[in-house]
């Protein structure tokens, strides 16, 4: 292998692929990056067998080939090299990178490239295209509610389902739920959809933030794998993920249909109040109390750590009610809604509440619904 490549191109490919490398693995090659040079350019691949990222960047190839190098060490050194052309060659059992017009060089031991896990061949059953910015927003508005409970592995990801009317992303951990949707034709995803692991969607979302083309999504015929592909300028990024196996719970059944009490309030004011008052909350339950009264809401908390309360003006005309919430869940939920005001639709102090943006989202073709379960207050009636 012998090639010339710009430091910025190599650093991007290595850094992006490094994000999928296993931090700890009994397989030494999973701590490596695979470098493959052919007429299409240089492709750099990293994987932990659950998420595989392959990045193809331009270069001038004199001799093709492939090698595997230590991911962490190679990434650390390459990103520190000065901008400009680099000469990368395979010299015996080492990869040599020259920089600064030949004034500097670094050498890296190589591993047998033939043993590196191959990029999966999906044989896709279906393909859909999703605008990159929309995908990034859908992930941001649902990813926070994914479960971390190892006994419910199907909830450790986001459900992606589609039909002729739109695509919907859903996440829940049993205490909260987020459903974000986008209008359009996405029938290929199907009513049952696919469950994408949270970590994998994070990798996809970061690529979507940089993408200069829509994200092309391919679903394998066995619905056990999916590939997300995009261009980032001249760079081609492909992310292949192992999907979680369902079935996913029927989330529609838990969304209340008759929550008649409505509270409208400025999102930023409520977020600030909850954040401050939660400093006094119990470290385990993180409980804060909402005291709903006509025209106002009191946010309070009292433990051995101290006590705090803040009153906020609000549009509330229902009967007075005290309700408890996990402050961390509430803060994450409020941060996911981009509007000036939010609306809480409530039933009673022990029933699930719906939280939605007031006036709709800035994107007319998108929608968002959040659900949060209350916590029983210590002095609640039996």
pLDDT tens digits, residue range 51-92? 999 999 999 999 999 999 999 999 999 999 999 999 999 988
In this predicted structure, what is the pLDDT of residue 25?
Answer: 74
CB 357 within 8 A of CB 345: no
Q: How far apart are CA 256 and CA 344, in angstroms?
A: 12
Q: Which long-range contacts (CB under 8 A, 24 or more apart) does 292-300 make?
A: 292/261, 292/263, 292/316, 292/318, 292/320, 292/321, 292/322, 292/323, 292/346, 293/320, 294/318, 294/320, 297/263, 297/265, 297/270, 299/270, 299/273, 299/274
Q: How confident is the model at residue 382 (pLDDT cuts 50, 70, 90)?
A: very low
- Give the total residue count for the chain: 382
pLDDT tier for residue 305 given thresholds of 50, 70 and 90: confident
**C-alpha span between 191 and 168 (Å, rounded):** 10
| Whether the predicted pLDDT of 326 surpasses 90 | yes
Which is nearest to 12 in space by CA: 241, 233, 240, 228? 233
Q: What is the mean pLDDT of the chain?
A: 94
Query: What pLDDT does residue 121 have?
Result: 79
Percent of the chain surpassing pLDDT 70: 99
CA distances from 274 to 233, 285, 290, 313, 330 (A): 42, 14, 10, 14, 8
Burial 249-281 (b: 16+ CB within 10 A, else e): bebeeeeeeebebebebbbebbbebbeebbebb
Calculate ∠ Cα 317-320-322, nearest 5°: 130
pLDDT in tens, 233-291: 999 999 999 999 989 999 999 999 999 999 999 999 999 999 999 999 999 999 999 99
The H-or-E segment that residue 79 falls in is helix 71-80
Question: Residue 312 has what pLDDT?
Answer: 98
SS3 89: strand
pLDDT of residue 318: 84
- pLDDT higher for 221 or 55? 55
pTM for the model stands at 0.93
The pLDDT of residue 118: 82
Whether 247 contacts 273, CB under 8 Å: no
Per residue in 146-164, pLDDT tens? 999 999 999 999 999 999 9
pLDDT band, residue 380 (cuts 50/70/90): low
pLDDT surpasses 50 at 175 = yes
Domains detected in the chain: 2-115 (3.10.150.10), 124-167+188-249 (3.10.150.10), 255-372 (3.10.150.10)
Output phi, psi for 199, to 5 deg.
Answer: -60, -40
| Segment among 2-6, 120-124, 180-184, 325-329 with least mean pLDDT | 120-124
Average pLDDT in the 196-209 region? 96
**119 pLDDT higher than 80:** no
């Amino acid at each position: 292998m012998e090639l010339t490549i710009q430091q910025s191109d190599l650093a991007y490919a290595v850094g992006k692929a490094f994000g999928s490398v296993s931090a700890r693995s009994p397989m030494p090659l999973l701590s490596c990056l695979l470098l493959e040079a052919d007429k299409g350019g240089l492709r750099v691949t990293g994987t932990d067998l659950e998420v595989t990222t392959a990045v193809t960047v331009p270069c001038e190839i004199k001799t093709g080939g492939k090698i595997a190098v230590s991911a962490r060490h190679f990434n650390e050194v390459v990103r520190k090299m000065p901008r400009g052309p680099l000469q990368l060659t395979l010299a015996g059992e080492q990869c040599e990178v020259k920089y600064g017009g030949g004034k500097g060089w670094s050498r890296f031991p190589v591993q047998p490239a033939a043993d590196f896990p191959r990029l999966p061949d999906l044989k896709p059953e279906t393909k859909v295209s999703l605008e990159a910015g929309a995908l990034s927003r859908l992930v941001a508005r649902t990813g926070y509610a994914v479960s971390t409970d190892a006994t419910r592995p199907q909830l450790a990801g986001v459900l992606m389902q589609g039909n002729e009317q739109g695509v919907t992303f859903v996440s829940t951990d049993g205490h909260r739920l987020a459903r974000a949707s986008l209008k359009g034709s996405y029938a290929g995803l199907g009513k049952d959809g696919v469950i994408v692991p949270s970590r994998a969607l994070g990798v996809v979302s970061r690529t979507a933030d940089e993408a200069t083309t829509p994200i092309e999504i391919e679903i394998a015929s066995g619905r056990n794998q999916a590939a997300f592909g995009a261009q980032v300028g001249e760079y081609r990024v492909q992310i292949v993920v192992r999907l979680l196996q369902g079935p996913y719970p029927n989330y529609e059944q838990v969304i209340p249909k008759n929550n008649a009490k409505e509270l409208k309030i400025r999102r930023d004011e409520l977020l600030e109040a909850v954040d401050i008052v939660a400093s006094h909350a119990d470290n385990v339950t993180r409980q804060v109390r909402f005291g709903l009264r006509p025209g106002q809401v009191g946010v309070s908390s009292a433990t051995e750590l101290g006590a705090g309360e803040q009153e906020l003006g609000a549009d509330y005309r229902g009967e007075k009610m005290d309700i408890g919430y996990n402050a961390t869940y509430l803060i994450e939920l409020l941060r996911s809604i981009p509007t000036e005001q939010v609306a809480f639709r409530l039933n009673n102090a022990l029933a699930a509440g719906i939280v939605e943006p007031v006036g709709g989202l800035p994107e007319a073709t998108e929608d968002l619904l959040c659900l949060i379960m209350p916590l029983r207050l210590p002095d609640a009636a039996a």
